[in-house]
C-alpha cells in the first residue's frame, strides 16, 4: 500500500548513490526520480530546478535533493517562490525544518552524512508536520 505523500527526488553525480538508496527506502511512497541517473559529472541546477518546480506546482507534496554539500541544490531550489528548501545533516534539523519552517524540500549533503543517517533524516522530515502558530507568521514573511 502506498503512502499518500508524493515525493520528487533528484540530485547530481555526488548524490546519485544516496538517491538510489533513498528511492528504495521510500518504496511505500509515490516517488518520481528526476535524475541524474549515473555518477557522470553533471550540473546540479539541471536536477534541482525540475524537483523544485514539481513541488512548487503541487505535482508532488515534497521534494528531496542530494548533492555533495547540499548547498548548490538548496540555493537553486530556494530561487523558486513556493519552495522552502532546508539543508539537514541530522534528524533533529529535518524535524525542525518541517515543524518550524514548513520546509517542503529536504537537501541532504551526501559527502557529510552516512547512508543510514540520510535515511534517518529523510524519515524525520517525512514524519514531521508544520506546527503553524507563531511559526506561520514567520514563514509568511519569507516571500517578497
Regions in the chain scoring below 70 on pLDDT: 1-2, 144
Is 84 annotated as a binding-site member?
A: no
**Would the annotation count 71 as a binding residue?**
yes
d(CA 83, CA 50): 12
Q: Per the residue annotation, which of 49, 80, 88, 100 is the catalytic one?
A: 100
**Are 30 and 6 a contacting pair, CB within 8 Å?**
yes
Q: Is 144 among the domain residues?
A: no
144 is catalytic: no
Domains of the chain: total: 1
CATH number of the domain to which 45 belongs: 3.40.1400.10
Instruction: Report if residue 63 sits inside a domain.
Output: yes
The residue range of the domain holding 130 is 6-139
1, part of any domain:
no
Residue 100's pLDDT is 94
Report the pLDDT value the prediction gives residue 1, as an integer from 0 to 100.
53
Q: Name the catalytic one among 67, 80, 88, 107.
A: 67
Query: Pairing between strand 6-11 and 62-67?
Result: parallel
Domain annotation covers residue 95: yes
The conformational region for residue 20 under phi > 0 = left, psi -120 to 50 = alpha, else beta, is alpha
111 marked among binding-site residues: yes
Give pTM, 2 decimals: 0.95
Q: To which residue does cell 521510500 refer? A: 26
62-67 vs 85-87, strand pairing mode: unpaired
Asked if residue 109 is part of any domain, the answer here is yes
The verdict on whether residue 91 carries a ligand-binding annotation is no
Amino acid at each position: 500500500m502506498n503512502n499518500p505523500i508524493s515525493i520528487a527526488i533528484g540530485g547530481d553525480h555526488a548524490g546519485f548513490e544516496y538517491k538510489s538508496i533513498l528511492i528504495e527506502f521510500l518504496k511505500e511512497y509515490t516517488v518520481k526520480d528526476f535524475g541524474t541517473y549515473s555518477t557522470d559529472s553533471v550540473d546540479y541546477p539541471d536536477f534541482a530546478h525540475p524537483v523544485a518546480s514539481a513541488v512548487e506546482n503541487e505535482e508532488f507534496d515534497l521534494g528531496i535533493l542530494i548533492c555533495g554539500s547540499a548547498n548548490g541544490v538548496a540555493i537553486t531550489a530556494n530561487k523558486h517562490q513556493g519552495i522552502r528548501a532546508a539543508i539537514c545533516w541530522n534528524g533533529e534539523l529535518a524535524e525542525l525544518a518541517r515543524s518550524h519552517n514548513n520546509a517542503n524540500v529536504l537537501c541532504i549533503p551526501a559527502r557529510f552524512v552516512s547512508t543510514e543517517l540520510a535515511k534517518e533524516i529523510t524519515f524525520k522530515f517525512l514524519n514531521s508536520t508544520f506546527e503553524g502558530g507563531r511559526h506561520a507568521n514567520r514563514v509568511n514573511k519569507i516571500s517578497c
